[in-house]
Amino acid sequence: DVKVTQSSRYLVKRTGEKVFLECVQDMDHENMFWYRQDPGLGLRLIYFSYDVKMKEKGDIPEGYSVSREKKERFSLILESASTNQTSMYLCASTPDRAPPNYGYTFGSGTRLTVV
């Protein structure tokens, strides 16, 4: 089974801190994604990457950046954390040229609280 591992289940950070959320997948998938999930809003795409060193903005990239130096690892960076970035963050991956019925494999999520 594909495994997507997020390094932290829970994080508490202070306002203004630089925060790194790490995601690693073990099935050689080309595509990786970062979402945030908030009550009543569902999942919203922050950034995605379809190859090493490639990145694309999603629907809500403001306040975030990403890094993909290796195929298996996709990092989400909060340059200066703010309280409105308190959320559940979900990483997902899919292979390139996936058949139409191939869905996302999600990590377990990181619950980030910014105080």
Partner 1 sequence: KNQVEQSPQSLIILEGKNCTLQCNYTVSPFSNLRWYKQDTGRGPVSLTIMTFSENTKSNGRYTATLDADTKQSSLHITASQLSDSASYICVVSSGRSYIPTFGRGTSLIVHP
Chain residues binding partner 1 by CB under 8 A are 4, 9, 31, 33, 40-43, 45, 48, 58, 90, 92, 94, 98, 100-101, 103-104, 106-109, 111
Q: Return the number of the residue (64 or 107) whose C-beta is nearest partner 1.
A: 107
- Residue 37 C-beta: closest distance to partner 1, Å: 9
E strands present in 1-115: 4-6, 10-13, 19-25, 31-38, 42-49, 56-57, 64-70, 73-78, 87-94, 105-106, 110-114
Beta-bridge mates of residue 43: 37
Tokens encoding 75: 């990092």
Q: Return the number of the residue (59 or 79) whose C-beta is nearest partner 1.
A: 59
Q: Return the number of the residue (14 or 97) whose C-beta is nearest partner 1.
A: 97
